[in-house]
Structure 1
């Protein structure tokens, strides 16, 4: 799958962040967020404002790691002030990215240590939290198909399937093809196990996992299909599987379901 141009990621980041703010402006600050039940509208707004602030700092200052000169901000308690902070940080990150070359080095928590990672990741962060805001306010609008299709790829390759340098993914032979029906695109995923010990926390892992893989000859063991918007929302647990079709080997498809059956905030 071809990625979107970086200027498109920036355009979506700006428009979806603005839409999130527009929807939450008229929302009850204590309304619950369906995709994140522990959050209120106020929590959602504060969370995304903090995310925008963090990545603005990363792009502006280019620290060696996330802890350098960074302290968690104390967010305003007044809702109108929180809205204003979100608008300020939205404009700040947009300006920082617009002034940067996507190929320049910049820290991230992924193997991709370039500014380009932030362009793409924050476009999808804004898209999903915009959907959170719309679901909270009962004002859901359609997701852009091109961005949502890229979101399916990002969710499977980075958010669920990314293997850190200190770990190892071992495929079991099961392969799932995820068909994006309204885009005529597919993402292939191998099922297997992840093992490794995180050098920072000392935590050891040995668990079911998935990893994006190249297309293979012949049919996959299982097929998951749906529109870009339905698949992206389902993978992020912002939508159910009523519009998603799953066929093929039950053992392989169940393995896949277990690996993506976890909310990401």
Structure 2
């Protein structure tokens, strides 16, 4: 929960546009082979292609109203050679994504890999994707990081713990860590989100064994045994394994804290 009202569709579109523009602005004059400090093993051009590919993928999913994972798997983007063609690909991809979202009401049925099967998923997910990689771009270019809107950052915390790292599907068994309750606290927005930490275990329809470290919703009266505290923007970065601007403090049961760190350290690019 937070004292701040979550962003709406127009807010997500504005953040997507702003952070995508900043992303390409700071990478345009950065050496193609410069390392991305927050994504080990990546170069500037790897980062540039990654976001171009992601945005083109979701532009197609939303724009063509794809309904199944099989349809989505057929969407591919070949990586072009050369900086100029990469920049052109990104500019085209981000324009296509923003246009697709602007012409698709959030409630429109559209496939996603999450439980949310409407375009609303892509409004939110792609805005936060652009934010995280905008920060990667600024770190790579060695320029000042633009501040993150507090309301958007608070939403990013919730998206990270509930979508990227949480809410295992119903066919998975959630096995909580003993005493595993974590509270994420962002005092700058009056935010406090309490979740259970553990593993989701099961077998997929294809027969693949799943054993996934994750968060899940805790009981209403659950008392955290670990507290992770910082500003909303810093908590968002911490959850994405990105450097924070200010301190993020952790306190509580060492074994539960280790479980929380294990979820985050599994990593998401």
Q: CA RMSD in A?
A: 1.9
Q: 2:59 aligns with which of 41, 56, 61?
A: 56
Residue 169 (structure 2) aligns with: 164
Helix, strand or coil: the match of 1:209? strand
TM superposition shift of 1:206: 3.8
Q: What TM-score, normalized by structure 2, do the two folds share? A: 0.91
Q: Distance in 2 between matches of 1:193 and 1:88?
A: 40
Residue 108 (structure 2) aligns with: 104
Structure 1 residues without counterparts, runs of 5 or longer: none
Residue 124 (structure 1) aligns with: 128
Q: Within the alignment, does 1:177 sit opposite 2:180 as a pair?
A: no
Q: 1:101 to 1:18 in 2, by over 3 A?
A: same
Q: Within the alignment, does 1:260 sit opposite 2:269 as a pair?
A: no
Residue 42 (structure 1) aligns with: 45
Q: Within the alignment, does 1:193 sit opposite 2:199 as a pair?
A: yes
TM superposition shift of 1:207: 5.2
Helix, strand or coil: the match of 1:196? strand
TM superposition shift of 1:227: 0.7
Structure 2 residues without counterparts, runs of 5 or longer: none
Residue 246 (structure 1) aligns with: 250
Q: Deviations over 1:137-185 (max 9, x none)?
A: 0112222222111111111111111302431213344211100121111
Residue 146 (structure 1) aligns with: 151
Residue 113 (structure 1) aligns with: 117
Helix, strand or coil: the match of 2:105? coil
Runs of 4+ aligned residues of structure 1 deviating over 6 Å after TM superposition are: none
Structure 1 window deviating more from structure 2 (191-200 vs 92-101): it is 191-200
Q: Distance in 1 between matches of 2:51 and 2:164?
A: 18
Q: Distance in 2 between matches of 1:241 and 1:130?
A: 15
Q: Distance in 2 between matches of 1:262 and 1:206?
A: 12
Residues 234, 241 of structure 1: 8 Å contact kept: no
Q: What TM-score, normalized by structure 1, do the two folds share? A: 0.93
